[in-house]
Amino acid sequence: MNVLVCVKRVPGTGSTILLTDDGMDVDTRHLGFTIGPHEECAVEEAIRIAADHGGQVTVLTVGPAEAAEQLRDALSMGADHAVLVDTGPGELDPEATADALVQAVRQLQDEAGARFDLVLFGNESADAGHYQVGVRVACELGLPMVGGVKGVELDTDAGTVRWRRPVAAGVEVYESSLPAAAGVAEGLNLPRYPSMRGRLRAMKAVITTLHVDVAPSGLRKTGLRRPAEERPATVVLGSGADSAGAVVDVLEELGVA
Amino acid sequence: MSSLPQRADVVVIGAGIVGNSIVHHLADRGWRNIVLLDKGPLPDPGGSTGHASNFIFPVDHSKEITALTLDSMRQYEKFGTLTTCGGIEIARTEDRVQELRRRMSSATSWGIPSELISPQQVGELMPFLDTRLVRAGFWTPSAAVVDPLQTGVLMRQHAHELGALTVSASTEVLGIDTTPGRPRPVVARVRTDRGDIETDHVVVACGVWSPRIARMAGARIPLTPAVHQMIDVGPIPELAATGQEIAYPIVRDMDPLMYERQSGADLEIGSYAHRPILHDPDDIPSIEASALSPTQLPFTQEDFDPQMATALELFAPILDREDVGVRHAINGLLSITPDAGPLLGETPEVQGLWSAAAVWIKEGPGVGRMIAEWMTHGSSEIDLHGADITRFYPHQRTRSHVLARANEGFNKTYGIVHPREQWASSRPQRRSPFYEREQELGAQFFEAGGWERPQWYESNRPLLEEMAENAPAPEMLTDRPYEWDRRWWSPITNAEHLAMRQRVAMIDLSAFAQFEVVGPGALDYLETMAVARIDRPTGRMIYTPVLAPNGGFRSDLTIVRLGDDEFRIITGGADGARDLAWFTAHLPGDASVTLTDITSATCTVGLWGPRARDVLAAVTEEDVSNDAFAFGTVRPITVDTIPVLAARISYVGDLGWELHAPAELGRRLWDVIEEAGRPHGIVPAGIGVYGTTGRLEKGYRLMGAELEVEYDPVEAGLALPKVKDHDFIGREAYVRARGHEPAATLCTLTVDDHRDATGVRRYPQGGEPVLTTSGERIVDRKGRGSYVTSAGAGPSVGAYLLMAYLPPEHAVEGTALTVGYMGERLPVTVARAGRTPLFDPDDTRMKG
Amino acid sequence: MSVFTIIEHDDGVVPAACLQALTIAGELAAGDTVEAVVFGPDPGLGSVLAANGVTTLHVVDHELVTDYSPEIYGESLAQLLKQAGPAGVVAAGTDRGNEIMAQAAARSRLPLATNCVAVTADPGAWTLTRARVGGLLLEDAELTASTKLVTVVPGPGDDVSASPGASGLLTQTFVPDLAADFVHSRLVERTERGSGVTLATARVVVSGGRGVGSSEGFAPLEELADLLGGAVGCSRVATSNGWRPHSDQVGQTGTKVSPELYIACGISGATQHWVGCMGAKTILAINTDPEAPMVTRATYAVTGDVHEVVPAVVAEIRRRADIRAGRRPALA
């Protein structure tokens, strides 16, 4: 069971998001970078699947050269191979990102002979949140794709996979034939912390670098801004247990108690 | 949300461990109307206190740092926030084993129970490390972890209970206003986003932000934020099973510059081995913009990778597991200064603006207490000359200097640093007019106060052979056998010394700090500053202690009377900046006295030796005979074409003069003296002679070594025959000290036998414990242990000399004692109790 | 040129989010027709849609279009768009809406802008603003395409039930061309949620974070939630420490809630969490730190330890209930 996981380098978050002076990007100077929470679960799931069913985990990213840091994070968790598609600094639109990933997967398949039984994505990226890159890649590769997945059951004999996802009304389970793709969501598992040995392995691991050509699509970002925050002053009801009366007054006023 | 008072007696900015301790101790000393501000929330406003590793190893080679640490430990213990777990510094290399032996010496000197232990014993104390990698351990049972945030809460609570404190968190300081003052601006107001506060006293206890806050008032706090990387690895069942925050000793893995400590189920690993990663105080993110906190920046994995391998190797039994993960990793910010010392005291630029910055968790509470004492009484119980912010000259307070030294110094945090070790970066800075000549002579330059001073001259190497013939101890003219003992040292110093004693030497003393004091109030002002009587005839040179209000030493220096209302203060280059700040801070507020720093306008050649008079006579038309130019007097003379202020005084015990000249004529002065001296066999001599060998033979005391705030003039043997009538700073304490037998007396000791157990000759360097012949510590009735304050050769007396304060029962000439050095004990004898010198005790040479 | 909109429906109930999408579609059509698309047989939406300005309803009908399948819905929509060539499609930015649109966009090789909060039709392009990071950040963008695909962020509003009757709506059936072996995911199991209060729909959410300290620490929060007929939520810290299941997590990567009242207990209010609860009408924060972001953004705040405040509030509610019920309150 070979699993490909696509991850994205995204900035960490503070309590307020600051922007660069030109308003085109998030100011990431003090935030550091990480793999998004959904994708961290995807990496964890892939490692567990490979451990349970055999096979290898390849982690793939499209982004700046620095995204190698996130690949090494995944390697230190236990991924076997890492592939970087260096598209330089600056944000790609979702079609271009998907295009780059598709070209990379084709290169891995056609030139390196790789075969992936499962391709996992985060349901949406933690920063841009376009909700479509995984779907686009799956469609191009002819794979079925379910999003919002929080449970995976493999039936290797039947060559199928069942995806469990919560929806407003309850829980849905989908079945797809392998090979298949999914967009997973946090809660699928509790990702492991990388071991020190894993870190050291990852430090020495060779990262495959691929080159692709991508063109921008019809969705063009013109800028980022923070919404005006209207924040009425907080009403302080009191402190400690003595505030209980004032709290319940408010609850009654709101009609909830 | 508290409202700010419009006026406060003192505003303390920064609610980390230092700021909290300061408000606590100020309240204890009677201060009221104290305001404590922080731009972050409480109890963790986001500074370094909130992410520190919080462990304390009490032993440091520095007496001052150790004293601050011990005081802090007592305070943490009192608040119930200290957990004693013990600590082991381990050695993986032979050099480090030697260093641990030196640690043992320091531990004994400062009275901290410690032990050198075997790898097996290390394994018994900390069962999870691979003892095969360990050569030895330095075990300190009293090492501990503390909770500085909770301590801060309790400290504030205490000040609240005294009705002394207003705390305002999440309050950003926008500015600190000053009003023009004489001689410097005075703090007037702190402006914040929640209102302004009028105040006369502001304490900047802002850790890594301190430079930015001080700059608002026009002062510089010379530190830079620097990254210290830390990771938490776990969960480790063996550690979790203890159910405690820490149940095993802290391990300092000294050679790779790392530490490991238990933190609950995790092992915390920290490093000082990575490249220096320096930040600008203005670039520290706001609380809102940072992922964790402003001082916990994103971890840069690649910097830590080698250390991770090292820690994994040492703690393989518990770390080398796939289910033990890196759960937390930060680039924590801490403060680094040009010399790694704290930055304490009133800033030299602004009256009423105090710095309490670059302080570690282990020193925080003690620093708070000392700052409070200092602000209240004008001096602190613990001598802080090494931490005094005024120790830096202007060029040393610049950002580029701070960065250069921080870059160089960061990896020395756990390094093996020789007491004479010289900095390589940001040099040269201050050069005397003789610098090029000295370079031609192969001078080995040491830095003092930013000045490049020749320590010895390679051109004098032939003297080693030449002087050997009549040397009282010819082995002093050969290299020392042990590398540590000879590091940053040369026997050429001893040869220069003998040449001076036999012939004549010229010494570059341009690093002297010189201040001109002029005006109708000058005499009265100087009387107030000095212990000795200053009202002496024009042309007299007065050597005097300068005391702190508690009667301890603040400085020792000479004051020259040049006229009725005109004086010159001449003091050592290393202490010049501190002295300038001290004298400036005490100037009268009116215009009756003007103090001008003329250091940069002058240069000085010291000319000493039996032939000094012949040399000087050859280049001046003045009468320089003993009758015409008596010892202890000063006169303007002309040397060749050069107007010179000649002072007949000596710190090396030989006939001669300090020749002070305009800087731009210095080069000519050097050449004239050198040429005139040639027939007399003149040699250039370095500071090794001036500051160590010549000085020690004459029993002269050195500020910062023998002289410090914890010892008084009576103990130092520098009490004058009479107490002058004029009031002066420290007078009351001085008079009191004279009233009873001193608790200790400064003595000169000789090393009787230098050989260690293997027969190799060893040379103590200073700081070592003085012990009885059976190896017991010697402690005076004030609780002060005896230790070597200065050490060096006495080439003319044929003995290696040590200075130490000894209690009366040991301060008896002829008493046999020992000195602990690197695990050895060397036999020594008290050769002089008091200030009488070993060499030429009647001073006939310099007075003749 | 017309603008299409997709109507998700649940047994004839049209979610508010789809009606909001419809409104925006109407604005973008600017006089041209607004046409709706439903998957599977029309449950009688005509009058509701007509009342909202829809002129034509496209009913996608195929034997494979039964239960939801992302690939089949997406492919069907792609084929319809190819045939009809509308100026654009506006769908609700729900999980399903985004999924169908992403599938259709991929299969049509058209750009897609998801989670828009504003869209304007300019000549040649649509100018839009889309929400990132749950709306804490806004992205301005231009969308240029033969058919412009957007989804819009759902806002608060009421669902509307279909009502039978004539509508005058033109209904067109669209039969997509789907091979029998068309690659897709099949819905094989559906579990309806129980009738209890859910985190996503509760009127009151009592949520706990780092300040709660342990899984046991949530007991008083559960008690309070019970009393108020609400649900218990938590921050990411509580989930990653194993105090609560991930299904309780409120935040960017958990559930986004919009209750009448959100009670944040010992939650500092990091971005990740704030995104999940900022839709609440009223926020009450209980925190020891009066300067925590959650406190400064809250409507009401209590300074103090969760472990003291919450039990006291529970006791006070009980006391008043007792008084109302005529019982003699227990002595405090």
| Domain ranges across chain B | 10-50+149-223+339-401, 83-145+225-333, 421-740
> What are the tokens at B708?
């410090």
3-state secondary structure of B791: strand
Task: Give the gyration radius of chain C's Cα atoms.
Answer: 23
Q: Tell me: the pLDDT tens digits for C299-318?
A: 999 999 999 999 999 999 99
Residue A77 in this model has a pLDDT that exceeds 90: yes
C194 found inside a domain = no
What's residue B1's pLDDT?
Answer: 43
- Do C215 and C267 lie in one domain? The reply is yes
Using an 8 Å CB-CB cutoff, list residues of chain B that contact chain A: 233, 283, 285, 287-291, 297-299, 301-302, 305, 308-309, 311-312, 319-327
- B337, pLDDT greater than 90: yes
Whether A173 sits inside 8 A of C95 (CB atoms) is no
C289 vs B: CB within 8 A: yes
Angle in degrees, CA B548, B553, B559, rounded to 5: 90
Q: Between chains, do B289 and A27 touch, taking CB under 8 Å as contact?
A: yes
Contacting subunits of A (3+ beta carbon pairs below 8 A): B, C
Residue B91 confidence (pLDDT) = 97
Taking contacts as CB-CB distances below 8 angstroms, the residues of chain B near C291 are 40-42, 169-170
Residue B240 with chain C: CB contacts under 8 Å: none
* 3-state SS string for B314-349: HCHHHHCCCCCEEEEEEEEEEEECCCCCCEEEECCC
Of A121, A139, A177, which to mutate for an interface test with C (greatest number of C Cβ within 10 Å)? Answer: A139
pLDDT digits (tens, 9 = 90+) for A112-158: 888 999 999 999 999 999 999 999 999 999 999 999 999 999 999 99
What is the widest separation between alpha-carbon atoms in chain C?
75
For residue C185, is it within any domain?
no
* Architecture of the structural domain at B10-50+149-223+339-401: 3-Layer(bba) Sandwich (3.50)
Give me the interface pTM, i.e. the ipTM. Answer: 0.92
Residues C40 and C90 in one domain: yes
Q: What is the pLDDT of residue A227?
A: 86
CATH assignment at residue A127: 3.40.50.620
Note whether residue C248 is domain-resident.
yes
For B290, the closest chain A residue by CA position comes to: A14
pLDDT at C258: 84
Partner residue facing C302 (CB), from A148, A170, A247:
A247
Helix B301-314 / helix A196-204 crossing angle, nearest 10 deg = 130
Q: What percent of chain C has pLDDT over 90?
A: 58
Q: Average pLDDT of B574-603?
A: 95
> Is C331 part of a structural domain of the chain?
no
Residue range of the domain that includes C215: 204-324
- Per-residue pLDDT at B116: 97
Query: Rounded to whole angstroms, how far apart are CA atoms B392 and B221?
Result: 10
Residue C273 has pLDDT above 80, yes or no: yes
Locate tokens 């030497």: which residue?
B505
Q: Does C242 touch chain B (CB under 8 A)?
A: no
Contacts A–B by Cβ distance under 8 A = 73
- The pLDDT of residue B2 is above 60: no
**Catalytic residue of the set B232, B556, B780, B840:** B556
Residue B37 is given by DSSP the state E
Instruction: Decide if B556 is catalytic.
Output: yes
Bridge partners (DSSP) of residue B12 are B36, B203
Q: Where are the beta strands (DSSP E) in B216-349?
A: 224-234, 250-253, 258-263, 266-271, 296-297, 325-336, 343-346
Domain count, chain C: 2
Residue C2 and residue C32: Cα distance in Å, rounded? 5
Which pLDDT score is estimated for B603? 98
Range scoring the smallest mean pLDDT among B650-654, B740-744, C164-168: C164-168
Interface of B with C (CB under 8 A): 1, 40-42, 169-170, 288
> Would you call A192 an interface residue with chain B, using a CB distance cutoff of 8 Å?
yes
Choice among B179-183, B228-232, C84-88 with the minimum mean pLDDT = B179-183
B800 is known as an active-site residue: no
List of chain C residues whose C-beta atoms are within 8 Å of the C-beta of residue A177: 183
Q: How far is CA B764 from CA B633, B703, B788, in A?
A: 37, 20, 8
What pLDDT is recorded for position B649?
95
A chain contacts of residue B291, beta-carbon cutoff 8 Å: 12-14, 30-32
List B158, B228, B274, B385, catalytic entry: B228
The pLDDT of residue C330 is 55
C110 vs A contacts (CB less than 8 Å): 218
Whether omega for the bond prior to residue B549 falls within 30 degrees of 0, making it cis, is no
The predicted pLDDT at position B768 comes to: 96
**Contact check, Cβ <8 Å, C292/B41:** yes
Residue of C nearest to A129 (CA): C132
CB B164 within 8 A of CB B26: yes
Average pLDDT over residues B603-629: 97
Assign 3-class secondary structure to B363-425.
CHHHHHHHHHHHHHHCCCCCCCCCCEHHHCCHHHHCHHHHHHHHHHHHHHCCCCCCCCCCCCC
**Residue C78 falls within a domain, yes or no?**
yes
Write down the catalytic residue from B259, B435, B690, B763: B259
Structure tokens at C243: 């105090």
Segment B184-202, tens digit of pLDDT: 999 999 999 999 999 999 9
Mutate to test the interface with B, among A34, A199, A234 (most CBs of B within 10 A): A199
Q: For residue A15, what pLDDT is reported?
A: 67
Q: In terms of domains, do C148 and C16 share one?
A: yes
The pTM of the full predicted model, rounded to 2 decimals, is: 0.88
Q: Which residues of B touch A27 (CB under 8 A)?
A: 289
* Structural domains in chain A (count): 1
A211: confidence class by pLDDT, cuts 50, 70, 90:
very high
Q: Output the domain CATH number for residue C169.
A: 3.40.50.620
pLDDT digits (tens, 9 = 90+) for C125-176: 999 999 998 888 999 999 999 999 999 998 877 888 877 666 778 899 999 9
Find the range with the poorest average confidence among B138-152, B162-176, B651-665, C238-252. Answer: C238-252
Q: Are B225 and B335 in contact (CB under 8 A)?
A: yes
Q: How many CB pairs under 8 A join A and C?
A: 269
CA of A239, closest CA in chain B: separation in Å? Answer: 12
CB C311 within 8 A of CB C224: no
Indicate the residue of C289, C290, C293 with minimum beta-carbon distance to B1.
C290
CB B192 within 8 A of CB B172: yes
Per-residue pLDDT band for A90 (boundaries 50, 70, 90) equals confident
CB contact under 8 Å between C112 and A185, yes or no, is: no
* Active-site residue, B201 included: no
Domain B421-740: give its CATH superfamily.
Probable tRNA modification gtpase trme; domain 1 (3.30.1360.120)
Q: pLDDT tens, B83-137?
A: 999 999 999 999 999 999 999 999 999 999 999 999 999 999 999 999 999 999 9
Tell me the C-alpha distance between A85 and A68, whole Å.
10
* Most trustworthy range by pLDDT among B65-79, C5-19, C194-208: B65-79
Residue C179 lies in a domain: no
pLDDT in tens, B380-419: 999 999 999 999 999 999 999 999 999 999 988 889 999 9
Cross-strand bridge partners of residue A35: A9
As a whole number of angstroms, the distance between CA B315 and CA A195 comes to: 13
Q: How far C58 CA sits from the closest chain A CA (Å)? A: 24
Q: For B445-484, write each residue's pLDDT tens digit.
A: 999 999 999 999 999 999 999 999 989 999 999 999 999 9
pLDDT at C328 over 70: no
What pLDDT does C166 receive? 64
* Res A115: pLDDT: 92
- CATH number for the segment(s) B83-145+225-333: 3.30.9.10
Chain A segment 11-40 residues within 8 A of C by beta carbon are 13-17, 26, 36-38
Residue B619 burial (CB count, 10 A): 21
Q: Provide the pLDDT for residue B225.
A: 95
CB of A69 within 8 Å of a chain B CB? The answer is yes
Mean pLDDT for chain B? 95
Residues C166 and C278 in one domain: no
Domain that holds residue A123: 3-253
Report CB contact under 8 Å: C292, B40: no
* CB within 8 Å: B288 and A200: no
Instruction: Return the residue of C nearest to A179 by Cα.
Output: C183
Q: Is the bond preceding B43 in cis, omega lying within 30 degrees of 0?
A: yes
Check residue A118 and report its DSSP letter.
E
